[in-house]
Structure 1
Amino acid sequence: MLVLYHNPPYMKVKFITEPRSAFYATVRRRADAYFSQHNIAPYANAHMWGKIVFFLAGYLGLYALIMSNQFGGWAMLGMAMLMGAFAAFVGFNVSHDAIHGALSAKGWVNRLVSTSFYMIGANPYVWKITHNIVHHTYTNIPGHDEDIDVAPGLIRLDPTEGHQPWQRFQHLYAFPLYGLASLSWVFRKDYLKFFKKEIGSSHDNSRHPQQEYVNLFVYKALYYVAFIVLPLIVLDITWWQFIIGFVLMHLVEGLVLGLVFQLAHVVEGTTFPMPTDQGSITENWAAHQMQTTANFAPNSLMATFLCGGLNRQIEHHLFPKVCHVHYPALAMIVRQTAHEFDLPYIENQTFASALGSHYRLLKKNGTAMAMSDAEKQEAAVNFG
């Protein structure tokens, strides 16, 4: 049988096995049957490898054009901003699948393609811990899923979090802050996560292979040389022109990254379940994913092409080891099975509607006061 599912390897929070435990077994069996009946593997196909070549060539090609020093300042600025978008698309379409092991049954292929993450200034080892293990296991659980800790104290995504007066304006300033995500990732986030002893109060992060210490600093240094030192040496621009180009490149990248990830988990209908005092979530893991995850623009060819299947986040969370080119076929299976088990299948039909839903949730969470202890306990038991 194909191994298409996620098995959380480490946790302090526990998911109960009932009710609706048969949902996951059923949807896995039907997904296995789909691949078997069509005689296809759940990994990358020719279309996927074509996407990988396209996005890597676009990213590296834009870098080469800028570094050729054959263009004026405005043209290089435009290419730098476009390169920021391509950096996000490389992350979505190339690195993300590879780090999940979804490109190939051969581990070395996935590891090789995973190194593309270094090219955009990020660390694949740290991402595997924070995203593959922690986020995919503890999705939207306050205090455990650090992906919902966006600018703590400034942006309040979790309704159980304490409320600050300025957060009533967060629906206005959150989007510019999302643009800082990439700069934070390149200069701060990876170091911070790597040296934390525990990720999300759930994952022991105190031990790393010695090689990963080397990789963290060496590849970060190489990125700084390629994107800071060399441009300042080679390009016929002033230092302030370089700063404008570098910052705008990352603002574009950060905004694209931030919006795609927020629209998948922080929209109307998704939940932020609190563990009970015993550390339990009163649902099984798969049902929990259905209640905390949403799709957006599922029928948009452009969104599917650019976002690397992350617009079908439900299918991704249930089948993270399946390449995203197969998500449209799996979506029909997941939707039907969810309805049979009376589980939600949260979907915004367009990018604009998902954006509006996220905006309204930001506004709501910015004005609502924090839950009382009694309300938190109730949410822990009845968050559906």
Structure 2
Amino acid sequence: MKEEVTTRGSFTEALYNRASEYFTSVKSGKYATAGFYVKALVLIALYVSSYIYFIFYSRSFTELLLLAVLLGICHVFIPVNISHDAIHKAVSANNLINQLALFGFEITGSNSYMYRKKHLEAHYNKENGSKTIAIESQALLLQKRNADKKTNLHYIFYIFYAKYMIFIRDFALYFNSTETIPLKQFIKLFFFKAIYFFAFLVIPFIYIRLPW
């Protein structure tokens, strides 16, 4: 090792320096390659086409189930494989492209502003040796408070985890925040949550007709 690591801080600094050296040395640099954009287009196309077929063309329970699984996979892959990189401004040197990639959170029911804020805070906390704070600050656990003690809810509640993450967590983080959040972010939160709610919890009941 080039640097002698004596503290967590020096380890983090050495890690960042080596990462910077690596990206300087490779031809592609620190931004996304063409493969990233192909992957992003495929995932978005798969997400949109699956939703359209799910709503308007499904004719059996088997089709609905398979498409629901596919939509669920897209709900994970789009934020993790596209928007996460945009959080770290690693998609492009053009900030507009990074901002556009962040909308992967909105179209899958999450919120880019709060996800980015909590994700970067978690990185900071983990780098400074507090995994517990890193997890709890993101409200990733289903917990209840008894007096001054927090306890995790029974695992059975995690059956509804997706609904919690989409329809409760972001609102709780917004309204419990001790920092001032711009009004436009509140507007964006409610606007995209309403669209998502309508798209996945209203439209399906209007258009899907199956002979049960």
TM category (shorter chain) comes to 0.7 to 0.9
Q: 1:353 maps to what in 2?
A: none
Partner amino acid, structure 2, of 1:93: N
Bigger CA drift: 49-58 or 28-37? 28-37
CA distance in 2, matches of 1:47, 1:180: 34
Q: Is the 8 A contact 2:135 2:141 kept in 1?
A: no
Aligned residue-pair number: 202
Q: 1:232 maps to what in 2?
A: 205
Name which of 117, 134, 142 aligns with 1:129: 117
Q: 2:36 maps to what in 1?
A: 48
CA distance in 2, matches of 1:145, 1:107: 28
Answer 1 or 2: higher relative contact order, Cα 8 Å, separation at least 6.
Answer: 1
Partner SS state of residue 202, structure 2: helix
Partner amino acid, structure 1, of 2:197: Y
In the alignment, structure 2 segments of 5+ residues that lack a partner are none
Q: 2:169 maps to what in 1?
A: 189
Q: CA separation of 1:67/1:57 partners in 2, compared to 1, >3 Å: closer, same or farther?
A: same
Structure ranking higher in helix proportion: 2
Q: 1:207 maps to what in 2?
A: 180
Q: CA separation of 1:143/1:21 partners in 2, compared to 1, >3 Å: closer, same or farther?
A: closer
Q: Deviations over 1:346-367 (max 9, x none)?
A: xxxxxxxxxxxxxxxxxxxxxx
What's the TM-score once normalised by structure 1's chain length? Answer: 0.47
What's the offset of the Cα at 1:145?
4.0
Partner amino acid, structure 1, of 2:166: V
Q: 2:61 maps to what in 1?
A: 73
CA distance in 1, matches of 2:12, 2:170: 33
Partner SS state of residue 7, structure 2: coil
In the alignment, structure 1 segments of 5+ residues that lack a partner are 1-16, 155-160, 198-204, 242-384
1:83 and 2:88 equivalent? no
Q: Is the 8 A contact 2:30 2:90 kept in 1?
A: yes
What's the offset of the Cα at 1:129?
1.6
Q: CA separation of 1:149/1:34 partners in 2, compared to 1, >3 Å: closer, same or farther?
A: closer
CA distance in 1, matches of 2:9, 2:134: 23
Partner SS state of residue 103, structure 1: coil
What's the offset of the Cα at 1:125?
0.6
RMSD: 2.9
1:92 and 2:80 equivalent? yes
CA distance in 2, matches of 1:28, 1:144: 19
> Identity percentage over the alignment?
26
Partner amino acid, structure 1, of 2:125: Y
CA distance in 2, matches of 1:137, 1:94: 21
Q: Is the 8 A contact 1:69 1:236 kept in 2?
A: no
1:25 and 2:7 equivalent? no
